[in-house]
């Protein structure tokens, strides 16, 4: 079981911070003082959930900094909470790396991996736990089993044989949800993220029950850009359906975004359609002919980074089709060369993709559904009461399906069957970084030749991204409905050929 989709105190607090930071951008007359005052406004002395209100305020200060696109302050140097604010109070700034950070004061220093006997132990006569332990780490003391942590090798055999389920396996939630083991411990046992390993999927962030992990946001800078009167066009990722309330239709969301000051709204599924056609062609002309052993989809940045960092021999097998985000941004800029483009999606790693030099010219801002919700709240826009003006009708069912694991592979497969009917298709998909790693190992070993392989870092696909608002099964249903409502099942090959 995971906490995903439950409106916990941690999620409420994140939402509150995005709302307040957006509010600063919208209304503050004296930014420095208002930013100083914010932790006192957010953490109410009477109502705090925390044992220690001073610690909670310290954590809130760092969360506010990250939400404004600033970095954490060093733990033991006197750096002002508003340090760097002037450089951030503009509409051009991009994220300072690293994107994902553990706020040290918030980390609970959870045990990384340990087996402990709980008070459910009955001290039974058989004590099978002691019999199966390969290291003799379990002894009976005062009629109870005890595990000697020095000797324990964490094999878990004792847990699996205990008739009373009295042995507990404690793992650090952030580490358990990190598919690449990027989370290490400092001298105090607190978590930190090794930026050389991390692929910015954000699954650690949404699984920490202390809210100790956060990524940086650009909502502040985006609002500044809208305020500057520039032409800002939004593109929404396919996973957006239902993220702002089950009765909020795509057309209503489009209207609400215009109320926020966006000039226009496009579906990122347009770019997905272009990608599906391109990848279908690559498969038919290169993989099916044996010229290339296998093809990896390019749309999930964490999956592509995983391949580049850990399986460098697969880099040339990643499709060179533009990601839907970039392809859509280019289409928008063809029609509106004077516009800036903001990608609104479910995903933390798109922020990282957009900070790459080659992509910066196409995508100016990246924010998540969760951050956008904060902007709507700050502006007092109630989406359920918006009456839509122009329908959202840009893409085909194929592109709209990209938000769910397996959807990319399906879209490409449908295009291959339609446009290259004599080509036999072998499609694989992996979701979660751990599964993606296994898939890449098999591919590297030559076990996946002739395959088109879709990888998604988040279990469930984009609808399970770190910046989503609603439970995953509900999101899956919503995306399926919107996909089915598309006028066309798949994109036209001629219209979508790469220029």
Which of 184, 218, 244 has its CA nearest to residue 385? 244
Q: Which tokens is 39 given?
A: 């932790």
- Share the mean pLDDT of the chain: 90
What pLDDT does residue 50 have? 65
How many angstroms separate the Cα of 178 from the Cα of each of 78, 174, 254, 437?
A: 32, 6, 34, 12
Q: Does position 46 have pLDDT exceeding 80, yes or no?
A: no
pLDDT confidence of 158, banded at 50, 70, 90?
A: very high
Which of 66-75, 177-186, 216-225 is predicted least confidently? 66-75
How many angstroms separate the Cα of 384 from the Cα of each of 68, 256, 275, 389?
A: 28, 10, 33, 14
- What is the per-residue pLDDT across 7-37, written as a single tens digit (0 to 9) for each? 888 999 999 999 999 999 999 999 999 999 9
What pLDDT does residue 84 have? 79
Any idea what DSSP says for residue 126?
Answer: S
- What is the per-residue pLDDT across 121-156, written as a single tens digit (0 to 9) for each? 999 999 999 999 999 999 999 989 999 999 999 999
**Span(s) in the chain for CATH 3.30.70.20:** 9-109+176-220, 113-171
Give dist(CA 419, CA 302) in Å, integer. Answer: 30
Over residues 472-497, mean pLDDT? 87
Cβ–Cβ < 8 Å for 392, 250: yes
Biggest alpha carbon distance in the chain? 79
- What is the per-residue pLDDT across 282-299, written as a single tens digit (0 to 9) for each? 999 999 999 999 999 988
Just give the CATH number of 113-171.
Answer: 3.30.70.20
- What is the per-residue pLDDT across 339-388, written as a single tens digit (0 to 9) for each? 999 999 999 999 988 887 777 779 999 999 999 999 999 999 999 999 98
User: Domain 9-109+176-220 maps to which CATH number in 3.40.50.300, 3.40.640.10, 3.40.190.10, 3.30.70.20?
Assistant: 3.30.70.20
């Amino acid at each position: 079981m995971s906490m995903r989709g439950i409106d916990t105190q941690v999620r409420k607090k994140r939402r509150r911070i995005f709302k307040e930071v957006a509010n600063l951008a919208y209304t503050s007359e004296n930014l420095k003082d208002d930013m100083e005052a914010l932790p006192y406004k957010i953490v109410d002395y009477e109502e705090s959930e925390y044992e220690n209100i001073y610690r909670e305020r310290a954590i809130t200060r760092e969360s506010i900094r990250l939400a404004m696109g600033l970095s954490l302050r060093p733990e033991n140097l006197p750096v002002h909470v508003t340090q760097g604010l002037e450089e951030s109070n503009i509409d051009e700034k991009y994220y300072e790396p690293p994107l994902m950070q553990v706020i040290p004061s918030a980390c609970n220093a959870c045990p990384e991996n340990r087996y402990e006997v709980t008070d459910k132990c009955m001290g039974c006569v058989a004590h099978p736990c002691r019999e199966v332990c390969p290291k003799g780490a379990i002894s009976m003391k005062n009629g109870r089993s005890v595990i000697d942590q020095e000797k324990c090798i964490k094999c878990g055999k004792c847990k699996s044989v205990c008739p009373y389920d009295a042995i507990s396996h404690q793992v650090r939630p952030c580490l358990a949800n990190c598919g690449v083991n990027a989370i290490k411990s400092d001298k105090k046992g607190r978590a930190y993220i090794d930026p050389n390993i991390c692929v910015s999927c954000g699954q650690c962030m949404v699984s920490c029950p202390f809210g100790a992990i956060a990524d940086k946001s650009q909502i502040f800078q985006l609002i500044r850009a809208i305020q500057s009167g520039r032409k800002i066009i939004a593109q929404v990722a396919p996973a957006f359906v239902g993220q702002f309330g089950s009765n909020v239709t795509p057309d209503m969301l489009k209207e609400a975004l215009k109320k926020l000051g966006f000039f226009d709204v496009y579906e990122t599924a347009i770019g997905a359609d272009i990608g599906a056609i391109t990848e279908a062609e690559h498969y038919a002309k290169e993989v099916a002919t044996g010229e290339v052993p296998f093809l990896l989809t390019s749309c999930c940045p964490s999956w592509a980074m995983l391949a580049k960092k850990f399986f460098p021999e697969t880099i040339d097998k990643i499709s060179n089709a533009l990601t839907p985000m970039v392809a859509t941004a280019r289409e928008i800029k063809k029609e509106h060369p004077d516009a800036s483009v903001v990608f609104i999606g479910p995903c933390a790693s798109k922020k990282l993709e957009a900070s790459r030099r080659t992509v910066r010219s196409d995508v100016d801002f990246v924010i998540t559904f969760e951050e956008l919700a904060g902007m709507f709240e700050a502006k007092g826009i109630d989406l359920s009461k918006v009456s839509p003006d122009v329908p959202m009708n840009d893409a085909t069912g194929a592109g709209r399906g990209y938000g769910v694991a397996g959807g990319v592979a399906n879209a490409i497969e449908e295009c291959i069957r339609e446009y290259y009917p004599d080509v036999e298709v072998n499609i694989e998909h992996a979701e979660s970084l751990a599964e993606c790693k296994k898939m890449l190992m098999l591919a590297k070993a030559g076990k996946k030749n002739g395959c088109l392989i879709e990888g998604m870092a988040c279990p469930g696909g984009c609808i399970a991204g770190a910046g989503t608002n609603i439970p995953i099964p509900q999101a899956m249903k919503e995306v399926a409905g919107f996909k089915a409502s598309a006028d066309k099942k798949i994109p036209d090959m001629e219209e979508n050929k790469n220029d």
